[in-house]
Each structure stands twice: as C-alpha cells, then as structure tokens.
Amino acid sequence: MFRIQTLNKISPLGLELFPREKYEVASDLPNPDAILVRSADLHNVEIPDSVKAIARAGAGYNNIPVSACSSRGVVVFNTPGGNANAVKELVLTALLLSSRNILGGINWGNTIADKADEVPDLVEKGKSKFEGPELRGKTLGVIGLGAIGVMVANDAIALGMNVIGYDPYISVEAAWNLSRQVLRADTLEGLLTKADYVTLHTPLSDTTKGLLNAEKFRLMKKGARIINLARGGLVNEADIIAALGSGHLSSYVTDFPSAELLACPRAICIPHLGASTPEAEDNCAVMAVQQLRDFLEAGAIKNSVNFPRCRLDQRAPHRLLVANRNIPNMVGQITTILAEQNINIMDLINHHRDDYAYNIIDTEQRISDIILERLKTVEGIIRVRTIEQGV
Ligand SMILES: NC(=O)c1ccc[n+]([C@@H]2O[C@H](COP(=O)([O-])OP(=O)(O)OC[C@H]3O[C@@H](n4cnc5c(N)ncnc54)[C@H](O)[C@@H]3O)[C@@H](O)[C@H]2O)c1
C-alpha cells in the first residue's frame, strides 16, 4: 500500500486515478511515500524520510525546496504542458484582441447604453472607428516552440496565417508535433523583420530577460503587434511603452499588467488568466498522479525537475532503484556489491542530470534487506529501494 499526502485541494479527476486497493490518499497521514501539492509552501515544512517523491500539479515549483530534496534523493515532479491548451486558447484570443479593435468597440458601446432607440443607428455610424485587420494571410512569429508555442503555431496555420518559428533548443518531441508548414527562422532577428504579429513562449531566465527591447523593436515592421502571455520580464517594459507611444508598434497584449502598462492606451492587459481554466487544473492533477504512480510502482521518472528522465520496461521479477550523486565509479560499486551476493543483473539503465544520477536495475534474484543496507553505506548513494513485479 502506498500512502499519498495531499497538501492542497487536488482535482478529483486526478485523485480517482489512485486505485483504492493500492493507495491511501489523505491530507493528514503519517509517513507518506509521496506528497501531492499545488501551491502550499514546503520551504519550512519538515519532509519525513518516508517521502520518496513530491509532485506539483502545475508548472512552476518554487514552493518546493528542490535542492534539499535532491540531496535526500527525493524526486520532484511538475506537470509541464498541463496548462498548454488553456494558454494557447488565450493566445488566439489575444491575437484577435490585438488586431480587431474589439475592446475599444465594446467600451464605446457601453457609453451609448442610455441612448434608447438611437442605439442601432449610433452603432452603424460609430463602428468605423473600430476597424482592424484580419489574421488570415498575415505572418506570425512564434518565439519558443515548446508545449504552448507548438500549439499556437499549428493553430495559427489553421487560421490561414503564415507562421515562422524560432527556437534554437527545440526538443525532438516538439519538432515532431510542429506542422511542416511552420517555417524556421535561424535567428531571432530574421523572425522579427518578417512578422506582423509576434508571440513569446520561452521561459524567463537570465538569457531571455528583456529578449524584446528597443533595439529589437526597431527591426520590426511598423504597426506590428506583440503578444506576451509567457512572462512580463521577457519584454523591456519602458521600451515597449515608448514603441507603442511612437506608433511604431500597434498593440501589446500581455498577461502581466503593471501600473505603467495599464495606463498605456495601446497595451491590452489581461490579469494573468493564461492557465485559469478548470480543464488546466484537471490536466495538471491527472499528469501529477500518473507520474507519481509510474515512479512509485515502476521507478520510472518523467517530468522531474531534479532527477533525469529514466524508464525501463520490466522483464525481470525484481527491480532495484538507486539514486546517487553523479560521481565516478558508482555503477561499478553497485554492480560489484550485487555480484558479490550472486545477484544476476538482467537489465540496467543509468542516467544522470547535473549533480545526480538514477539507476533502474532489474535482477533475477530478490534483493535482500542486507544488500540494501550494504548499498546505503556506499559514499555517494543517497537512496535505494526495491520493487517486486506486480506491486
Ligand atoms: N500566462 C500564464 O498563465 C502561463 C501559463 C503557463 C506557462 N506560461 C509561460 O509560458 C512559457 C512557455 O511554456 P511552455 O509550457 O510552452 O514551456 P516549454 O518548456 O514547453 O517551452 C519553452 C520553449 O522555449 C524554448 N526556448 C528557451 N530559450 C529560448 C530562446 N532564447 N529563444 C527561443 N526559444 C527558447 C525552449 O527550447 C522550449 O522549447 C513558460 O515558461 C511560462 O513562463 C505562462
């Protein structure tokens, strides 16, 4: 029986994926095997030694003390892409909001609400002020082709746009999912000079902070529009307010308002609604539960933020899992201890990520508690456990 402690309200669609005969799930439970969390801050919480994994139903994970978890061999999972469709739909909305003067028109409409029977005539006379171009046939530049960027690029193709993508680190999985009609830009500058609309989908880091700034805006077509539902810091705020003020850029739609942007007539501010859908919450809970189950029942790691991706189809009856520091001769020492005990290894996989490594070792014979204790004494090994087939 595995014990899962939930530290926030988690979508029932996720929780019902824990089979009752194998899992005990509760908000208060001693010695849990894993913790399932959304926003609860774990930085000052004592995490019991029984905890092997922490799964965050969401993308960010700064509420989890990742480095302390790593040094204790606790695998931390998040759910990247779980909210991708929610964000993509808001990006499509943002493209239309940036182009057709929908908000201006609606706001003006509200000002004539008291005009009784004159309203229909006033609408027909006033509407010309709110004209805006169609998306079809225009060029969209997508910066960052991960979970969200790929979906945006593919749907923009379906809307009849020409799409150029820029992502020097695109993953194989994203490349497989991307429509072949999306053209590749070799440089950010190449994308910016061609695009009528630019949408950002990269993480915020030291290298992407201020990725779009005055120098980049100068390369862009006059009247171009920018959508930023990724992170406010990707765009230099003073520079974009200046480019909007001069009329060089027509519109900036962002999910990250500030007082200055709210006061800027050509900026459209959304109050961080990118992932605010019930479906995104369900998707993240389902992903978090599936990842925890795969890890607890089979030792597989997918979407961890501190340990490497690792999976091995189990064809032998016994499985040993070892987390260790990424230093020389670890596999050698582990296999030597197994050989000394006449344990025959049927299959083995070892992956590393930064300072840590993880091994899945399938064996013909059962690994005894004595062997586990012996492994724990090896300098550099931080956690060991076994799984019997069919657990
Ligand atoms: N508004 C919201 O509520 C909301 C919700 C979810 C995500 N986000 C933001 O959206 C971003 C993208 O999310 P995702 O799920 O698609 O992430 P992802 O990790 O799947 O994709 C990010 C992509 O950016 C690429 N990239 C990194 N640096 C780059 C650079 N310098 N130039 C071009 N590409 C670069 C990476 O290679 C990767 O393919 C997140 O980092 C997050 O900040 C916002």
Residue 275 CB–ligand 1 contact under 6 Å: yes
| Residue spans of beta strands (DSSP E) within 204-305 | 224-228, 249-254, 267-269
Q: Which atom of ligand 1 is nearest to the CA of 276?
A: 3
For residues 220 and 356, what is the distance between their CA atoms, to the nearest angstrom? 43
Instruction: State the Cα–Cα distance between residues 264 and 245, nearest whole angstrom.
Output: 8
Confidence band, pLDDT 50/70/90 cuts, at residue 308: very high
pLDDT in tens, 183-194: 999 999 999 999
Identify the band that residue 348 occupies on the pLDDT scale cut at 50, 70 and 90: very high
Within 8 A by CB and 6+ apart from 292, the residues are 4, 34, 36, 53, 55, 77
How far apart are alpha carbons 198 and 165 in whole angstroms?
10
Task: Report the distance separating Cα 350 and Cα 356, nearest Å.
Answer: 11
CA of 144 to the centre of ligand 1 (A): 6
pTM, two decimal places: 0.84
**Mean pLDDT score of the chain:** 96
Those residues with Cβ within 8 angstroms of residue 259's Cβ, 6 or more apart along the chain or in another chain? none
Q: Cβ(169) to ligand 1 under 6 A?
A: yes
239-276 per-position pLDDT tens digit: 999 999 999 999 999 999 999 999 999 999 999 999 99
Cα–Cα dist 325/328, whole Å: 9
**Does ligand 1 lie within 6 Å of residue 143's CB atom?**
yes
Query: Which structure tokens are listed for 101?
Result: 């003067």
Whole-number Å distance, alpha carbon 303 to ligand 1 midpoint, is 15
pLDDT on residue 78? 96
Show the tokens assigned to 326: 């990424």
Which atom of ligand 1 is least distant from the CA of 166?
Answer: 33
Q: Is the CB of 126 under 6 A from ligand 1?
A: no
The per-residue pLDDT for 8 is 86
Please check the confidence at residue 388 and state whether its pLDDT lies above 90: no
Q: Looking at the DSSP assignment, which residues form a beta bridge with residue 261?
A: none
Element (H, E) at 105: helix 102-111
| Per-residue model confidence as pLDDT tens digits over 37-52 | 998 999 999 999 999 9
359 within 8 A of 334, measured Cβ to Cβ: yes
Distance CA 389, CA 391 (A): 6
How confident is the model over 73-114, as pLDDT tens digits?
999 999 999 999 999 999 999 999 999 999 999 999 999 999
**Tokens at residue 14, please?**
């996720």
So what's the pLDDT on residue 59? 84
Beta partners for residue 184, in sequence order = 165
Distance in Å, CA 309 to ligand 1 centroid = 19
Asked if 41 contacts 12 with a C-beta cutoff of 8 angstroms, the reply is no
CA–centroid distance for 9 within its chain = 20
C-beta 60 within 6 A of ligand 1:
no
pLDDT band at 391 (very low <50, low <70, confident <90, very high): very low
Rounded mean pLDDT of 276-292?
96
Report pLDDT for 60.
82
Of the residues 173, 260, 340, 388, only one is catalytic, namely: 260
